[in-house]
Structure 1
């Protein structure tokens, strides 16, 4: 590979990394033959994968690995534990060249509840469904032992391996072991614990293993409080640790379930224009995800989601040689796949798989959008303008937006600011500041009307292009007074919106129309973020102008009180010493060098005499 090819390869990989999400998941590195050479997991995908491409990476093996990477793929999951489990499964399946495999080939352990007359509960790494029900696997070994320990203390299942039968109990074949004498077992083998009681305990233990731990947590909390009252702090701390461990990790992974053996999962999401669709495919074998891919489909004839899935499912299954007899989909489809059935789960592990698949499809769509907008930044601005146009039902794209805000303290030093956004970006050369001239006292509405009247009257006279949208930094009242000037006085047809704030002075809603209506916006969306920036910017602009004016007036007002000191002397002092504070602190000699002995004596005596 020559230098130019290597630069292209590196640029391609860095672009992928730049658009990766900051979420937990797994990632795969491919060589030039599209073979997986490394599988990894991460709490933060973007941060972890980008670390491979830092210049300061000094490990020789890492540098060799990076030199072999030609492509990157990844899957998003909900938790770091899920990423651990998928990584383990993928390493075992693909045996990547640069992954260190466990020498004994062990997998993560599970918990088994046997099918015996009196079931046992224990950890195992071997899954054989003929012997019982399996829960897990558990990526946190400590959490698994915490669960087993809690089950042992609360439900006391037997630990002996005797094949206990009903007949054997009736014939008195068994004797209680040490666990019974230690109060760790109810001794069902000698009928000290009834069959019904034991089965009820096992039933509750199964609920704990499924993640229904509320009752156990109540018991632990009660125990913890009891120990604390008895000043047995070590036992109380142990209960607390078990409570927290159970709370955090008892629920089995949302990703892996041994009840799901061979399943395909398909979901579809569309972009905002509905020109493109993103179909995610997940394949589950032996209770673990071993394949997850998202494909982009372009709509040629405005096909529906159902029509696209009808086309994509057979194609993707053939590509991966899938023979799964169960296909999980988000909605009903009007075609059949030979040897397989469609299912639409409403709850449980299979529904979680459907949610995970949809999350990956949405993430892929988001990544593609970011990549496109990075290459063409104007596309993002156009998308946001279109979104705002649709929300407000405007006839024209809101390219030119103006926003106003007032600033004063009890009516003194009253000013206003007007900021301009063009193409959803600030156009600072068009910003304008206004001193309020016709309003006395604190009257924000009248001040707003004066500024709007002055601005748009002048724009009319000079035939300057008017804005496509006016935004007021305020609610219904501000909108109405602006409307009175724009529509009733100046007879202009400019749409007016308002940004209202909550009690904490945070932007919380967009108002539009007369009578005003609240426009629904996603507060985490990009459009809401831009509108908030506009409101924050106009507030910053107006208040900084107000502070500057107030500061200037305060500076000059104190110097104005000195008799015998005129404007030229004041300007000379401020020019040299910058502030009244420094003028006060200056020695007579320093003042003399600036304004002469006579004036210096007057200023010095003014600030240092007992007035």
Structure 2
């Protein structure tokens, strides 16, 4: 994400843009909001604005004014749609040409009469009946009406069509209508379905689900299993909708704050919730001091952002992602400023937990985008060149790390950074084999040997700086490999975590385990080293977990002839898992359904072989 006032670099921004659904906000150089949009895939949608040809004139004028793009990730496209509509109505950006007053937004209309109809309504509310809304778009209404049609089968056909039917239509055949037009449902049952639909449209889904669950239990107790199955399916559909409504499903006025940090930088994401609806969000990037963790960053930010700011609205509740010993003191100070009680909570459930996680996700995304920003990376490369007394910034940095669990599934990672940031196409993983479990020195030696043996034969580029995540032992192994393979001179940096194992207090070694390099905690060069070290650590861990998971998912039973997927599943279900099956005797295995004595013997032998 570019900083305001700097020319916008779309390639750097898109390189770190998320592929998740969400809302994007385009700002001009003066900071004014130009346009708000939503996307199912943020990266794909935003990339379309920066294609070389085929951009409409109005979009081209918009793109020419962009100095900054902010994104807010949402759980799904429906939430993005609702947030987009809220932001457009609140801020009225000039390039959103479809701005409308509430009276022109579509509503759901439940008509009057013995057998009411559900339909989409626009314009003046002259027709008799109940109105629900407004909705952000016709598509949002159609989604709700489709669910109601499946769950409660309230008719949606035109009155002229309804009044002239002599036999049920296709909607009855596919169980989306109960055919009141030809008298196949009485008015009392239909009224109950209408009442349930109204509860859903009014947002009382929890109460509706509880009522249906009670009715389902009563139907099952009366042995009316067909009715119980219908109620079960209705509950399942409503539960799915509830899971998708974290943007709208809560209540009250809340500010949600999440702090994340990494590579010498931090981001605080502020999510504003009013009346149970997420109205918008904003990222802040405070400067870190030595040894400050995320909870300390959050406490300092809350104090500076709210205290003494009389013009800033302070809600009765703050949700944070970290606990801190100063929360009681801050609560008292903020409550004194408000004149009413205020709560700061880090342990929340339900919708509030989803808001909390949404804030964390957005903070992580914003920090990653900032760290990978071209201006930020260039400044850090220049600082590293100055720290190492290089005539010009390096062009290629490689960092190696090792990951395993007590020696199991050892994986080495190699990540590559250039002047434009991470070069993920050059990332590599090495599966380490044939070493003593847990021997990190042998693992790093094997990975470096494989990497530079190929480079010596002309495959791939050599790095200007080679970073090793580890202490003096790993450095010695790296020096030995480079000497054995006669690798052309390069700069070698060892990155040890230090005694306290805190960010900013790493111990660095330059070209030799006996030559420590000291950089101040606020140094951009150190932040670049931390960034590439953290990325290599992440890449190694993800590879290790994938390898370990694959190993653990491979069952001993898969190698036994005559034991296919279905039989494996039945065996594991019968015994309650592989561990219990391994404890079973030969006779117990032979008693399992579908298992002959010969097959039981093969299974027992496979499970107890050395």
TM-score (norm 2): 0.47
- Larger RCO of the pair (alpha carbons < 8 Å, separation 6+): 2
Look at both structures and tell me which one has the larger radius of gyration over its CA atoms. 1
TM-score (norm 1): 0.47
